[in-house]
Structure 1
Amino acid sequence: MNIPSAYIHIPFCQQICHYCDFTKFFYNERLADEYLEALEKEIHTYIPDEKARVRTIFVGGGTPTAVNHQQLEKLLRMIDDHFDIASCEEYTFEANPGDLDMEKVWLLRDFGVDRISLGVQVFDDEMLEKIGRVHKVKDVYTNIDRLLQAGLSNISIDLMYALPGQTVEDFEKTIDEAMQFGLPHYSSYSLQIEPKTVFYQRYMKGKLTKAKEDDEAEMYELLQRKLTAAGAVQYEISNFAKPGFESKHNLTYWNNEHYYGIGAGAHGYLPGKRTINIRPLPAYVKKAEEDGKPLLHEEPIGIKEEMEEEMFLGLRKTQGVSTERFYQKYGKTLVDVFGNRLTQLKERSLIDEEAGHIRLTSKGRILGNEVFQEFLLDD
C-alpha cells in the first residue's frame, strides 16, 4: 500500500490552551511512557516489516516536544525504525516556544527532522497569558536562535488573530515582529470558538465576546498585504511561504491524497476509507495494546465523496483545483460533474478559471463555506 504521508499525534501539553479542541492531556511521565508503547504497536500494525517510504511525516499534538528527553529520543527512534527517513522529503515536528533546549534540538536534527512548526500565536506576553499559553515572547527568540544554531532553518510559525480583546493594531504589531525573523513559512488562523474548550464555556456564559467581523476581515487583509509585500506567496487560505518552502505535508491534505493517521484521536485517509482513532487516552492505550488497532470509526469513501472533497480541499489553495489532474484521477471532467454549479459560481464572481485551474476569487475566499457547499453532489 503506497501511502505518501504520515501524521503522528502526541497528545501531551504542559498547559492546555483556552482555544484548543485537539486531543490533548496534561503531560504525565508515566502516561507518556504508556502512550509511546501503545503508539509503537499501532505503527507496527500499519508497517509490520520493511520501512515505509513516505514523502512527508508530520508529528503534531498536543505538543510533541512536551515529553522528556528520553521519551523524545524513544519517539524519534520509533519513527526511524518504521519509516525510511532518508527518502522522506519533509519531516516536521510541532513545538512550543520554551520547550526546546539544545539537547532536544540536537536530537531532532540528528534523527532527520528538517522542519519545525512553532506555535507562537502572538508577540504579546499579556495576550499569551489570556489565551492560556505558558511561553513568553523572549522564548520565541531563544528557541529560533537554538534551531538556527543547529542548522534547522526551515521554520514555520503559527499566528492567531480575532482573539478576545485583540485590536487590529495589536495584530499588526505581531505580524511586524514575526516578519523580522525572515522565516520561510508563516501560518495564521482566526480564532474559532470550539466546543469543549475554555473559551467555549466562557462564551456560552457571556463572559467572552467574539471579535467584530469587520475587524477580523481587516486583520486578514493586513496579513495578506504585509506578508506578500515581504516576498511570501500565499499558496493557501491561511498559509504563506517563500517559493519552495510550502508545507509539503499540508499539501497532501489539500491535494486530497492519502495519509496514515496514527495516535490518539488522529484522522487518517487510506484508499477507500477515512479512519478516526479512539480519543480518550486510557481507551486508546488499552485497544492499541490489545491488537494494535485503536480505531473508533472507519468511514467508506466512494467516488462521489472523493470528488466533493477534491473541490473542498483543493479550493483552499490559491492555485485552486487542476482540471487536468481531476480528469486523471476520476476519468471525468469538472464540467461533466459540476457543470451548472461552476457556471453559477462564475456568474456570481466567486470562482474563476486560469491556466487550467478553478480557483476562488477574492470574494469567493470571504464566502468560502458558501462556495464549498455548492460542490455537494446529490446521491
Structure 2
Amino acid sequence: MYTVIAERDLDEAGVSPDAALAIYSEMVRARRFDERALALQRRGWMSGYPPFRGQEATQVGAVRAMAGDDWLVPTYRSNAAQIARGVPMSDLFLFRRGHAEFHSGHDRPVFPQAVPIATQLPHAVGLGMAADYRGDDSAVLCLFGDGATSEGDFHEAVNFAGVFDAPVVFLCENNGWAISMPAERQTASPTIAEKAGAYGIDGEHVDGNDPLAVRDVVGVALERAREGDPVLVESLTYRQGAHTTSDDPSRYREDAAAEFPEWRTADPVERYEDYLIEQGLLDEDTREEIRADADDAVDRAVERAEAVADPDPDGVFDDVYDDLPPELQRQRDDLLDRATGDGGD
C-alpha cells in the first residue's frame, strides 16, 4: 500500500507548504459543495445527486498530478475532481437542474461526465489515441468506480489501451460498494489493480484517503502513460454516504468499522487536517478562514445557478438531428402541448 500521511514529512513527500495547503483548501471546498448539494436536493432544488463524501482525497490528489493539457474524463461522482480542475461549481449545480453541463465554460480539457456506468472508458482511450496520433504530449486521466469494472466497456477500453499504447491512466475509485453490491460479489480477483496484467499493462494500489500518496502515484502513472505505457490505478477509499439520494445504504451496509480497516474508512479531510497540524502548517485560524472561503464560494455558485432561467422544455430535442424526424417532431409537439396545458391529461 502506497501511503504518505503520518509516515513522511513534507520534504520527504516532495510537496511545498503552499501546495500542501492548496490541496487542503480544494478538499474543503469540495466537501462544502457536496454538503450543500445534498441539502439542496433534499428540498427539491435539483434532481437526484450522487454524494462523494469520503472520496475527496482521491479526486483532488489525482487532479493535482495532472499537467495543464491533460484530459480529465470524469464519472457522475467526480465533482471534487471537476472542481479541482477548474469547472465552476455553478455549472455542476446547473447540470443537476437540467442545463447543459458546461454552462459557463472553462479553460481546462474536461470531458462531459458520464452517468451510464463505464461508457466514458472507451472515450478516454479514444482521446488518448487521438493525442498520440497528433503527437501531443498530453495524457488522459479517467475516473470510474469499482462497479464499472463489471461492465464490458472497462475490459474493452483497457484492452485497447494496452494494445495501442494509449496514454491513459485508469483511476478506479474502489469505494467498497457498487450501489448495494460489495466488491467481493463483483469479482473473484483479490484486487482490481491486478486485472491490469490481463491486458499487458501495470496496475498500482494507493491509499485513497491520502491525497499526497494519490498525487504521487497518479503523477508517476501519467508520466508513464505519456511514454506509451497505460496504467490502472486502484484507489482504496470509502463511500461514506449513499450511492445517490435515492439510495438507503442502511438496508445493505453494516457499520464501516466492521467492513474495512480504519485507514480506509477514516474521514480524509479530518485525516489530512491532522497531518497538516502535525507538520505545523495548519492552525485553527487558518482552518476557519479556509472553511469560510469555501462556504462563500459555494454561496456564490448557488446564486449564479439560481440567476439562470429554466431551460425551455423543447430544448431536449436540440442538437440531436439537423432535421427533426417526424416521430420526434410529434413528441416535441406533444411535450409543448402538455407544458402549456393545451393538450393531454
TM-score range, shorter chain: 0.3 to 0.5
| TM-score relative to the length of structure 1 | 0.31
Which gives a bigger RCO, structure 1 or 2 (Cα 8 Å, sep 6+)?
2
Greater strand content: 1
| TM-score relative to the length of structure 2 | 0.33
